[in-house]
A and B are shown apart, each in its own frame.
Chain A
Amino acid sequence: MGEVFKARDTRLGREVAIKAVHQEFSGRFQREARAISALNHPTYAPCMISARTIW
């Protein structure tokens, strides 16, 4: 489906995860971002940014 990278937000100095998916799963990805954004609970990794890039 895609890949998840462990990364460092150098500006805010914190660790983040970057999840990138193939275009065919963009609908599913969007739903996931929306579902997580609706939740505010310590057991979920919060969604910071959801962006769409095609390369």
Chain B
Amino acid sequence: MQRGRLPMDLVLCWGAQIADALAAAHAKGIIHRDLKPGNLMVTKTGIKVLDFGLANSAKASTRRRATPTPRTASRTILGTPAYMAPEQQEGKECDPRTDIYALGLVLYEMATGRRMAQDQATPFEGLPAILLQTVRPVLPEIRTSAGNRQPTSESH
């Protein structure tokens, strides 16, 4: 994917395999929560979806909701900002749609060779809302100290 856009037949073939993989996980009540190109491996037999480190089962999260957790723990945001769905960015409960959102971004990237975040108008649009609240007040400071230079590197 780093080498640019993929031919449409590969996008469809691999996309369908990833969708299949997600469907199998969702059927078991497992949400991956960190689907991104870096967690996909192309093998002789097709795509492998890796790194279930952030995966949680729907059952486990229901249990967790029953016991009150400290505010900080419940607001911990895990994932990769560029591929996170809005509810995940806001630290809210994730469900299968969270993975489908990430799949959409992966498909976009496979088809265009560009990351969705790169195509967004402002460099900070892709930032999670909570991070944005933290970052926004200091933005003018950063811009002033940088001498009104445009940001040159990606922020995430």
B151 touches A (CB below 8 Å): no
Interface string of A11-55 (1 = CB under 8 A from B): 000000000000001001101100110110111110000000000
Interface contact B53-A1, CB-CB below 8 Å = yes
Task: Tell me the smallest distance from the CB of B54 to a CB of chain A, in Å.
Answer: 8
- Provide the residues of chain B in CB contact with A1, threshold 8 Å: 53
- Number of residues of chain B lying within 8 A (CB) of chain A: 22
B47 CB contact (under 8 Å) in A36, A39, A43: A43
A43 CB contact (under 8 Å) in B30, B46, B51, B57: B46
CA separation between A40 and B31, bound complex, in Å? 15
Task: Tell me the smallest distance from the CB of B148 to a CB of chain A, in Å.
Answer: 38
B97 touches A (CB below 8 Å): no
Interface contact B45-A42, CB-CB below 8 Å = yes
B142 touches A (CB below 8 Å): no
Nearest-neighbor residue (CB-CB) of B22 within chain A: A43
- Provide the residues of chain B in CB contact with A44, threshold 8 Å: 21, 24-25, 48-49
Interface contact A45-B55, CB-CB below 8 Å = no
B143 touches A (CB below 8 Å): no
A31 CB contact (under 8 Å) in B47, B48, B53: B53
CA separation between A39 and B25, bound complex, in Å? 7
Task: Tell me the smallest distance from the CB of B3 to a CB of chain A, in Å.
Answer: 22
B103 touches A (CB below 8 Å): no
CA separation between A36 and B57, bound complex, in Å? 11
- Provide the residues of chain A in CB contact with B55, threshold 8 Å: 31-32, 35
B50 CB contact (under 8 Å) in A25, A41, A45: A45
CA separation between A25 and B25, bound complex, in Å? 22
CA separation between A41 and B21, bound complex, in Å? 7
CA separation between A1 and B56, bound complex, in Å? 18
Known: A39-B24, A41-B25, A43-B17. 15 other contacts (CB 8 A): A1-B53, A25-B53, A28-B54, A29-B53, A31-B52, A32-B53, A35-B56, A38-B30, A41-B24, A42-B46, A43-B46, A44-B21, A44-B24, A44-B48, A45-B48
